[in-house]
């Protein structure tokens, strides 16, 4: 039995773990209370901070949203900087600046992806305040976006955006370890924006009524296939009805595999753990079939990829109403800071 089976079904084993889940939730609430009432130190910086996070374990689509936010705010005249923990990175010194050609083994795979597409300065550190201060000192950015920082209360935040997978939602509704929740669903009552990926009409009732925060649908659009080696483009239709190997080391690879099937591929699935660091033999098979992976996987495979290796980029799109409300909230925050 996998954790997904436990967390996203009504498996009876969850009952044995519920006492531990209640203890976990109690500790999380106490920690949040301590930061809220200054019993633990919250670090403030001189510019607004936007947190992008989730309340469940695993992939919900935060990275495409962070990239979209960076691009959007630049178009509006801001100078955004992006910080992250650098999950999976093993650099010996922090903070680390991230470029589009940085080694993901040092700074993490998602941060390289963000640096490649956002056009924003990116810094990573286990203590996000260090990464944020580094960007302020070196780049003169006037707004900070924190990737996956909802539970990192040591960094004060002005805006909280939570991303939810509209297909899997909140799993069985329990906190770790019985369920996938990092915090109880009631946490959503205190956020600013709830962004739902892959929203389905039949889930309106399930998603609604759990929070008074307005929900916004995020559409992830798949772009043309690109070669891992040189980023050259080919349309998916060029490989239509072709058998392919599909490689994914992400939080929820099923959606990626299903999309390839919907495009008419006969898919041989190869699932790896989230943030898996690939070896050459992981993506080489005893045939000449094309190998399609996510872009998050591709940044870790460039050094040993071959001509049959492709990746499928995705791009987030948010509704105009979300854009308008976000800008309005940022303006109010910046006006308040300038008065102070």
List, as one string, the DSSP characters of 262-298: HTT-EEEEEE--TTPPP-GGGG--SS---EEEEHHHH
Output 8 or 74, whichever has higher pLDDT: 74
Place of tokens 């303006």: 331
Report pTM: 0.92
For residue 29, the SS3 value is: helix
Number of neighbours of residue 73 by Cβ within 10 angstroms: 22
| Amino acid 1: pLDDT | 63
Q: Using 50, 70 and 90 to split pLDDT, how confident is the model at 206?
A: very low
- Average pLDDT, integer, range 94-119: 96
**Contact indicator for 227, 309 with CB cutoff of 8 Å:** yes
Q: How is residue 215 written in tokens? A: 């929900």
Note the pLDDT tens digit of each residue in 258-311.
999 998 899 999 999 999 999 999 999 999 899 999 999 999 999 999 999 999
Q: Tell which phi-psi region holds residue 194, choosing left (phi > 0), alpha (psi between -120 and 50) or beta.
A: beta
Task: State how far the Cα of 213 lies from the Cα of 211, in Å rounded to an integer.
Answer: 5
Element (H, E) at 52: strand 49-53
pLDDT, one tens digit per residue, over 132-163 is: 999 999 998 999 999 999 999 999 999 999 99
| Range 171-198 burial, b when 16+ CB lie within 10 A, else e | bbbbbbbbbbbbbbbebbeebbbbbbbb
pLDDT at 335: 86
Burial class (CB in 10 A: 0-12, 13-18, 19+), 2: exposed
The percentage of residues in the chain with a pLDDT greater than 90, rounded to a whole number, is 77
Contact 83, 132 (CB under 8 A): yes
Strand 314-317 relative to strand 291-294, pairing: unpaired
Residue 212 pLDDT exceeds 90: no
* Contacts of 9 by beta carbon, 8 Å cutoff, 6+ apart: 172
Tokens of 284: 């080489």
Residue 147: asked if its preceding bond is cis (omega within 30°), the reply is: no
Q: Are 114 and 309 in contact (CB under 8 A)?
A: no
Per-residue confidence (pLDDT) for residue 58, from 0 to 100? 79
Q: Does the structure show a pLDDT above 50 at 11? A: yes
* CB 180 within 8 Å of CB 56: yes
Angle at 145 between CA 143 and CA 151, to 5 degrees: 130
Mean pLDDT of 185-202: 82
Spatial separation of the C-alpha atoms in residues 170 and 72, rounded to whole Å: 28
CA distance 59 to 78: 28
Specify the higher pLDDT residue, 213 or 278: 278
The per-residue pLDDT for range 23-64, each reduced to its tens digit, is 999 999 999 999 999 999 999 999 999 999 999 997 788 999
Is residue 108 over pLDDT 90?
Answer: yes
Q: What number of H helices and E strands is found in the chain?
A: 10, 15
Averaged pLDDT, 118-126: 97
- Backbone φ, ψ for residue 86 (5° rounding): 75, 45
Token reading at 30: 């106490």
| CB of 166 closer than 8 Å to CB of 196 | yes
Tell me what pLDDT residue 201 has: 43
């Amino acid at each position: 039995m996998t954790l997904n089976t436990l967390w996203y079904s009504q498996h009876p084993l969850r009952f044995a773990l519920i006492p531990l889940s209640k203890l976990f939730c109690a500790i999380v609430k106490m920690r949040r209370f301590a930061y809220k009432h200054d019993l633990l130190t919250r670090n403030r910086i001189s510019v607004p901070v936007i947190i992008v996070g989730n309340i469940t374990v695993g992939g919900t689509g935060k990275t495409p949203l962070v990239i979209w936010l960076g691009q959007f705010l630049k178009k509006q005249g801001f100078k955004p900087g992006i910080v992250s923990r650098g999950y999976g990175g093993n650099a010996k010194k922090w903070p680390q600046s991230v470029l589009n050609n940085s080694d993901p083994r040092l700074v993490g795979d998602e941060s390289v992806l963000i640096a490649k597409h956002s056009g924003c300065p990116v810094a990573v550190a286990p203590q996000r305040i260090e990464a944020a201060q580094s960007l302020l000192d070196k780049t003169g950015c006037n707004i900070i976006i924190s990737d996956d920082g909802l539970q990192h209360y040591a960094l004060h935040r002005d805006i909280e955006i939570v991303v939810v997978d509209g297909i899997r939602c909140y799993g069985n509704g329990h906190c770790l370890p019985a369920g996938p929740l990092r915090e109880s669903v009631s946490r959503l009552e205190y956020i600013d924006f709830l962004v739902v990926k892959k929203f389905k009409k039949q889930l309106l009732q399930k998603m609604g009524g759990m929070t008074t925060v307005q929900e916004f649908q995020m559409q992830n659009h798949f772009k043309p296939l690109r070669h891992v080696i040189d980023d050259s483009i080919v349309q998916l239709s060029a490989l239509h009805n072709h058998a392919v190997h599909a490689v994914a080391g992400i939080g929820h690879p099923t959606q990626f595999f299903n999309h390839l099937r919907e495009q008419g591929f006969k898919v041989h699935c190869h699932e790896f753990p989230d943030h898996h660091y690939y070896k050459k033999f992981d993506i080489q098979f005893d045939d000449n079939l094309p190998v399609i992976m996510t872009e998050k996987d591709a940044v870790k495979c460039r050094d040993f990829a071959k001509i049959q290796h492709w990746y499928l980029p995705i791009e987030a799109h948010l509704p105009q109403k979300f854009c308008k409300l976000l800008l309005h909230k940022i303006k109010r925050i910046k006006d308040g800071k300038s008065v102070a």
